[in-house]
Amino acid sequence: MNLDFSPEEHAFRQDVRAFIDANLPAATRAKVMGDRPLEKADIVGWQRILNQRGWATPSWPKEYGGPGWNAVERYIFLDELHQGGAPEPLSFNVAMLGPVVIAYGTDDQKRRLLPRLANLDDWWCQGFSEPGAGSDLASLTCSARRDGDHYIVNGQKIWQGMGHWADWGFFLVRTDPDAPKKQAGITFLLIDMKSPGVSLSPIITLDGRHEVNSVFLDDVRVPIENRLGEENQGWTVAKHLLGNERTNIARVGVTKRILARARRAATATGLFSAPLFAARLARIEVALQAVETLQLRVLAAQIKDNRPDSRASILKLRSVEVRQAAGELLMEACGAQGLSFVRFEAGERPPFDEADEGWSASAVCFNLRAASIYGGASEVQRNILADTVLGLGR
Ligand SMILES: Cc1cc2nc3c(=O)[nH]c(=O)nc-3n(C[C@H](O)[C@H](O)[C@H](O)COP(=O)(O)OP(=O)(O)OC[C@H]3O[C@@H](n4cnc5c(N)ncnc54)[C@H](O)[C@@H]3O)c2cc1C
């Protein structure tokens, strides 16, 4: 198995890098590089620039407006975005909903939705999890009953990432509570977040930020043409979508960016010369190299067999552990100044550039705690590995 990039792939990387350098707004890059929160307009603006170039939908086939890249080209593109300080195209629109619209949508849905998803004309959120249905998603109870040419939806969803910015949401609802298997009675609905009866409540996470929400649905009327796929077949659509959610989850470029910040901060504070710190940094860098190699192996196998590789679970598990270790190192490197809530008195300065290395270190570290929960919790990944890779079938 050849894990080296070909000359064409190197040239492709240079093209992507040059495009980012020439077109990414400086303010957006500065926020991403310093892990400071982005505004909605930063993300929408950049996605539209990418869309003009035909690069907003890396995983879509050419016939639906995608660039027609293979898995390695997609990896290189995302790696360059991560290391170059550019936001990824909005994954709810592009990596999650777009591919299932292509696979299960009617011609009319494809025509209406795909161009708007690509251009981020509508911001979408994911309404899957419920207070009693996360890892065991098929236990969901949010209900939809038919009333003429509408569904009436009632229930609660939780953890909707950026739901407060969303125009629309894709939801899993239970349409047949008596189905013999819980997976069998679920339907995939597209819901206008401005519909009467939809309300949101913010959840402020440990990093002090508002990223996630609870969504309440109270007698929400949804036209049946907003159903994706057949009634009671939503689990098939959801499985396809969740498979895509785990693609490119390793985000090696993001971890590299965090480690570079930790190195700069530790150099500024003098911590870098402490032998234990340098040793920890080296250990994490080596672990990251192993993750990157695994990522390339998974990609190579994916291209050869044209299907997701079961080792993707190892990748999810291990890449998150390494990224979390990098986040902890960054926070340690910044010391007390890395705590978001530390304020400096007039005239007092942290030993590094506050805007770059400073206050957001704790936010990065705390935010990363969630990475071992979303996209399939670590314990669940271990179960998958036990079954599919180790063959320990329970
Ligand atoms: C920051 C963040 C953003 C999110 N964004 C979204 C979003 O946009 N839309 C959305 O729908 N959802 C979202 N989620 C929800 C996410 O998918 C769920 O949190 C996740 O599936 C875990 O479900 P849960 O929180 O109910 O925990 P649970 O499933 O209750 O798990 C609790 C603990 O038990 C462990 N566990 C569960 N089952 C098993 C098992 N079979 N064997 C061993 N251990 C097990 C888990 O690993 C975990 O440690 C988000 C979550 C977070 C934290």
Question: pLDDT digits over 44-60, tens only?
Answer: 999 999 999 999 999 89
Paired sense of beta strands 124-127 and 168-174, if any: parallel
Strand partners, 172: 188
- State the Cα angle at 43 between 131 and 356, rounded to 5°: 95
Report the C-alpha gap between 314 and 221 in whole angstroms.
41
Report the C-alpha gap between 43 and 91 in whole angstroms.
11
The superfamily (CATH) of domain 249-388 is Butyryl-CoA Dehydrogenase, subunit A, domain 3 (1.20.140.10)
Report the C-alpha gap between 66 and 51 in whole angstroms.
9
Token pair recorded at residue 82: 């991560």
Token pair recorded at residue 350: 């942290």
Fold held by 124-232 = Butyryl-CoA Dehydrogenase, subunit A; domain 2 (2.40.110)
Q: Three-class SS of residue 169?
A: strand
* Between 375 and 214, the higher pLDDT residue: 214
Cα(21) to ligand 1 centroid in Å equals 37
Cα(363) to ligand 1 centroid in Å equals 20
Token pair recorded at residue 277: 């710190």
Q: What is the mean pLDDT of the chain?
A: 90
Determine the pLDDT at residue 107. Answer: 97
For the chain, the residue count is: 394
- State the Cα angle at 292 between 291 and 294, rounded to 5°: 65
Cα(378) to ligand 1 centroid in Å equals 9
Q: Which of 15, 151, 132, 28 is nearest to 88 (CA)?
A: 28
Say yes or no to pLDDT of 394 above 70. Answer: no
Any atom of ligand 1 within 6 Å of the Cβ of 359: no
Phi (first) and psi of residue 87, to 5 degrees: -65, 150
- pTM of the predicted structure, to 2 decimals: 0.92
User: Domain locations in the chain?
Assistant: 7-89, 124-232, 249-388
Any atom of ligand 1 within 6 Å of the Cβ of 118: no
Q: Three-class SS of residue 203?
A: strand
Confidence of residue 337 (pLDDT cuts 50, 70, 90): confident
Determine the pLDDT at residue 302. Answer: 72
Say yes or no to pLDDT of 98 above 90. Answer: yes
- Residues marked as catalytic: 245
